[in-house]
Structure 1
Amino acid sequence: MPVRLPSVEQLAGIARSFGLSLSGDDLASFRDLMRGPIASCARLDALVEPKLPVKYARAPGYRPSAEENPYNAWYWKTDIPGAASGLLAGKKVAIKDNICVAGVPMMNGSQLLEGYVPEIDATVVSRILDAGGTIAGKAACEDLCFSGASHTCATGPIRNPHNVKHSAGGSSGGSAAAVAAGDVPMALGGDQGGSIRTPSSWCGIYGLKPTWGLVPTTGSMPISYSVDHCGPMGASTEDVARLLAVIAGHDGHDPRTQLARTDDYMGALGQGIAGLRVGVLKQGFGHPESDPEVDRMVRAAIDSLAGAGATICEVSVPMHYDGPHIWSGIILEGAAEMMLKGYGVGNNVAAYYPLSMQEAFARGMASRINDASETVKLVLLLGEYLHRHYHNRYHSKAQNLRVLLRDAYAQALGDVDILAMPTIPFTATLIPDADCPRDTYVDRALNMQANTCPFDVSGNPAFTLPCGRKHGLPVGLMLVGRHFEESRLIAAAAAFEAIGRRGER
């Protein structure tokens, strides 16, 4: 729609909202001063913006039936083949539904975006297709990705293939469930507080949150710029390494990737771990909500690495306990400003902005905000309260404290090569009833992130791998490394996976 000069009445309303005292003459004067900038907006409407490329032909796909989708893992099914050869040739990949695939509906788990069909391929999607992968569909996810469990998705709860009464984890629950069910060998997930690692841990698959800035998020719907990550999930360490090798690296549209350092992730699979120093993070165990049996299984898994040549010791990072508080300060206002008030894209970042997604989400915010999940409403209300009444103080202080948290982990990783701990302190929780109290709904969505969210703040790579089961539900071991040392984590995970295969013989 063409931009118009504001009316005096519109300017008066804006002035009142900021406490500005302006006379009618003042308002008319400011209105006249706006003619030049408004003319610039009109010129912008006439200019043609660049679009992310769409290189491969595709049909739009279809919404799968309940019979075809028993875990509600899929939002949309497709069959989009890429190049004839490449590292992913013959591999099917699920794409989390906060990532654009041209011509394929995208909902991001939310009724606020229902009906949107992007016209672009996200950078990671193009890279998968260029490497010979086939896009098998869009994996269902939580409402705007703001839940660590799997009951806030607008299309219904995503169910754990190991026990359908239990959560698949979130927000990348559909990606994890699709891999765990054997539908695909690998999937893309997103992680702002643990959303790759939580569902990977609870569904018993492998999931890697890369170093912040290693994998571009161009063409994805964010939550908060400084904690947004995109990464691989797979049925094996090799699947994760293969997908990471394809999607990692600098992207001119995403300034976070300017410092990205890639490595030979496939080569890391056979490196072994002789001499690897593994630090058991003291503060990763024994949380008030921790299951002692989960702690025991994870410690036993870590100890088994000694048989492959690693040395094991305990390390302490007391500030790990403050990680969730720092994360809360960053993400509450960050998400309210960027994801909600910023119409899914925010501003002031020199990046690519999917305008069609922004406009579709703005319409949803204006017409369907009451259809948002309780977690999204909580973030909007609390984030805006902190913004209006405390002037971004807590977001700013948390961003400043981020440096101390990052340095605390760096100091520990100066003495050891990787840190190890439980991914989630307990196994997958029951999916709450649809009519459960709001406090149960929200608590069940956000109660599991004590060990995961600090590393979204620090930006360290973190890899979860299955290490056992309790009552049939998987337990995850999380390995954390130095920035851009994903290869070391892959080598350790491959060694642990090999130990497990020997034990099964």
Structure 2
Amino acid sequence: MAIQRPTIDVLKQIANDLHIQLTDTEAAEYLSIIQSNFDAYDLIDELDDEIPEVRYPRANSYRPDATENPLNAWYYKTEVKGALSGKLSGKTIALKDNIFLADVPMMNGSTTLEGFVPEYDATIVTRMLDAGATILGKATCEHFCLSGGSHTSDPVAVHNPYRHGYSAGGSSSGSAALVSNGDVDLAIACDQGGSIRIPAAFCGIYGMKPTHGLVPYTGIMPIENTIDHVGPVSRTVRDNALLLEVIAGGDGLDPRQYHVKTEDYTSYLDRGVKGLKIGVVREGFNLANMDPKVAEKVRKAIVEFEKMGAIVEDISLPEHALAGALWSPVGCEGLTAQMMHGNGMGFNWEGLYGVKLIDKHKDWRKQADQLSPTLKACMFVGEYGIKNYSGRYYAKSKNITRRARAAYDQKLAEYDLLLMPTVPMVAQPLPEPGCSLTEYISKAFEMIGNTASQDITGHPAMSIPCGLVDDLPVGLMLIGPYFGEGKIYQAAAAFEKNVDWKTI
């Protein structure tokens, strides 16, 4: 089918948008010159897209009602059975609803994307099915994944399994809630500012944000290529390590992947922590909104590591706060350019694009008032930086990121792992309907003070449960060197084996 050709008036408007002025005569001549370019567009329009084959049949999918979905943690339910045997045989899995599962609707928490149905499976979906997993559906996530709270998803908030009416954390709210509640064995979550680790901490489970690029992001709706991470959440360390073994490794389609190193992560689980050096990052306890009760639980957990033979020392890492500050220009300008102006995919990278996602997501412009306040706030910052400063602060922040990463690397050359609270608080009450913009937005970002930094530096980080405050879980975060997930699992498994986290 031939694409629609521009008229003289349309071309003059395009030129004007590019700050170029054309006369009618010039526009007519340019139109004649560029016709051959549009002939190439016609050819491409006639060709089939180059997308992966869908190899596993799936049952009819449906959106569960409230009686079947008391936490609002499911977006769609289905059943996709994988191979008859494999590492994940017998394991049930939920996918965060920004992950492509062919023929099952994907909304990414936003009514503006409702009705989109992916044509192919994400790389990690195929890997899990090949390993024998059964996928039971899509887990609710926050509006385009822009919230550390669980109150921004359309149409309703996700509840914490430990206390109804409280946040499950975000943006992988449904993934963590379903695992914590026992609805599935495992789930896939994604993390750009803490969205694996925050809900894991709030829901009392294990959440691993792997090294940037270790797990392919192919077939997952991006926010910003340089901070996109995907990883497992689970009720046990072993299941978490097992799932990472299955999904990790290059696929040749993701520009986030470079010099990827995988390991047999489950081989680390019985090594113990005797002699392991852990640096306790002072700045991770110095957040302005740190709850002293949360800090106390993490300190008590640190004592348990010492009892098991770990060498634990307090350290200072000033660049931890720097990395958190870098998130604002990188995250806000980056998401505005890629996820919004770039219609979810952006430009200038090799790999597998979601063409049908572009077709659907471009229509956000017609429904922009329906975007969540959290996304709008980030877009306002991002657009201001792009329009008024031409992206120079994004660029400068990416340069300075190397400084923050090097500071982490230096400490991780001295210590096997770094440690700090995952979040400065336990789960908070969900905002009431009709609350102020200030409350709505602050409840979305109040908990990211420690987690955003590792999305900027790319280091692996895992939240493990380490106590209860007012009967709500507390999270402790372990941070490792690039591709050092094995050591994180080593420490987490020793803690899980030797400590009843609920009694700390």
Q: Which segment drifts farther, 47-56 or 398-407?
A: 47-56
Partners of 1:199 and 1:503 lie apart in 2 by 17
Q: Deviations over 1:238-279 (max 9, x none)?
A: 111111011000111113224210001111111212210000
Partner of residue 153, structure 2: 153
Partners of 1:80 and 1:49 lie apart in 2 by 24
Partners of 2:331 and 2:501 lie apart in 1 by 42
Partner of residue 465, structure 2: 466
Partner of residue 5, structure 2: 5
AA of the residue aligned to 1:222? P
Partner of residue 480, structure 1: 479
Report matched runs for 1:347-358 at 5 Å. 347-358=347-358
Does the CA-based 8 Å contact 2:467-2:501 persist in structure 1? Answer: no
Q: Deviations over 1:453-485 (max 9, x none)?
A: 010010000000000010011100000000001
Q: Which segment drifts farther, 487-496 or 19-28?
A: 19-28
Percent of counterpart pairs with the same letter?
43
1:417 correspondence with 2:416 = yes
AA of the residue aligned to 1:438? L
Partner of residue 492, structure 1: 491
Does the CA-based 8 Å contact 2:90-2:134 persist in structure 1? Answer: yes
AA of the residue aligned to 1:132? G
Partner of residue 28, structure 1: 28
Indicate the SS of the match to 2:188. strand
Partner of residue 304, structure 1: 304
Partners of 1:289 and 1:459 lie apart in 2 by 25
Partner of residue 92, structure 1: 92
Consecutive unaligned residues in structure 2, runs of 5 or more: none
Does the CA-based 8 Å contact 1:96-1:175 persist in structure 2? Answer: yes
RMSD between aligned residues:
1.4
Q: Which segment drifts farther, 351-360 or 495-504?
A: 495-504
Partner of residue 262, structure 1: 262
Report matched runs for 1:265-414 at 5 Å. 265-363=265-363, 365-414=364-413
Consecutive unaligned residues in structure 1, runs of 5 or more: none
Partners of 1:251 and 1:482 lie apart in 2 by 22
Partners of 2:282 and 2:390 lie apart in 1 by 36
Does the CA-based 8 Å contact 1:5-1:34 persist in structure 2? Answer: no
Does the CA-based 8 Å contact 2:304-2:499 persist in structure 1? Answer: no
Partner of residue 125, structure 2: 125
Partners of 2:31 and 2:387 lie apart in 1 by 26
Partners of 1:436 and 1:123 lie apart in 2 by 40
Indicate the SS of the match to 2:408. helix
Q: Deviations over 1:270-294 (max 9, x none)?
A: 1212210000001100211111111
Q: Which runs of 4+ in 1 moved over 6 A?
A: 502-505
Tell me: CA distance 1:262–1:182, structure 2 relative to 1, closer, same or farther (3 Å). same
Partners of 1:145 and 1:429 lie apart in 2 by 19
Does the CA-based 8 Å contact 1:158-1:173 persist in structure 2? Answer: yes
Does the CA-based 8 Å contact 1:89-1:132 persist in structure 2? Answer: yes
Partners of 2:265 and 2:85 lie apart in 1 by 19
1:443 correspondence with 2:467 = no
Does the CA-based 8 Å contact 1:316-1:412 persist in structure 2? Answer: no
Q: TM-score, normalised by structure 1?
A: 0.97
Partners of 1:409 and 1:420 lie apart in 2 by 12
Give 1:389 shift.
1.2
Does the CA-based 8 Å contact 2:462-2:479 persist in structure 1? Answer: yes
1:65 correspondence with 2:62 = no
AA of the residue aligned to 2:179? V
Partner of residue 184, structure 2: 184
Tell me: CA distance 1:2–1:428, structure 2 relative to 1, closer, same or farther (3 Å). farther
1:434 correspondence with 2:429 = no
Give 1:501 shift.
4.0
Partner of residue 234, structure 1: 234
AA of the residue aligned to 2:443? R
Does the CA-based 8 Å contact 1:251-1:258 persist in structure 2? Answer: no
| Number of residue equivalences | 504
Q: TM-score, normalised by structure 2?
A: 0.98
Q: Which segment drifts farther, 370-379 or 189-198?
A: 370-379
Partners of 2:136 and 2:302 lie apart in 1 by 35
Indicate the SS of the match to 1:152. coil
Partner of residue 115, structure 2: 115
Does the CA-based 8 Å contact 1:238-1:266 persist in structure 2? Answer: yes
Indicate the SS of the match to 2:383. helix
